[in-house]
Amino acid sequence: MKSVHYFFTPVSPWTYMGHARFVQMAEQHGARILLRPVDLGRVFPVSGGLPLAKRAAQRQTYRLKELARWREFRGVPLNIHPKFFPAPADDAARLIIAADLALGTAAGLKLAEAIMRAVWAEERDIGDAQTRAAIVAEQGLDAAALAAVADQAATAFDAYTEEAIAAQVFGAPWYLVEGEPFWGQDRLEFVERALAA
């Protein structure tokens, strides 16, 4: 069984657009997904990346064009200018990790998709604790089980971020297939080839 380290942040539109396809692909090839939500705010300074607001105007303009193109190509509902973006992502990331730790990878993946959809398709504020609690409930997940591993999830979040830095991750999503890196949902076809090999 092949393993894929899946580094991402829940506020990445690119992660959101590729998420369902990636999960389906991993299932089809019997691959194990290792969920790795990370703090890109810590990854960027050591990898030469810049937060969106600090990028050159032409890069920001082109990003919007690409979002529209990929939204159509992937057939994923996505607001180019969501109401609550940028949003604080750390608490949502820790919640995804808690779901993974307490309830398993399938639960973590399901919650990750719901949180990303909340930002990019549903105009919801994932920085708000009540909103996050509502999303957990909507997914039928046990909030008490998630709360019970909150400290462990916080420790894992820091560890995953350090792991990303050590693995030379510089953006999201980042798929590490048996040690081979792929950056971006636009590389999913190459990820699939690696899984099938």
Domain architecture of the chain: domains with CATH: 3-196 (3.40.30.10)
pLDDT of residue 150: 97
150-175 pLDDT, tens digit each: 999 999 999 999 999 999 999 999 99
Q: Tokens 């604080």 appear where? A: 88
Residue 2 burial (C-beta neighbours within 10 Å; 0-12, 13-18, 19+): middle
14-60 pLDDT, tens digit each: 999 999 999 999 999 999 999 999 999 999 888 778 788 778 889 88
CA proximity to 91, closest of 77, 106, 111? 111
Q: H/E element holding 181?
A: strand 180-183
Angstrom distance (rounded) from CA 129 to CA 178: 36
pLDDT of residue 30: 97
79-138 pLDDT, tens digit each: 999 999 989 999 999 999 999 999 999 999 999 999 999 999 999 999 999 999 999 999
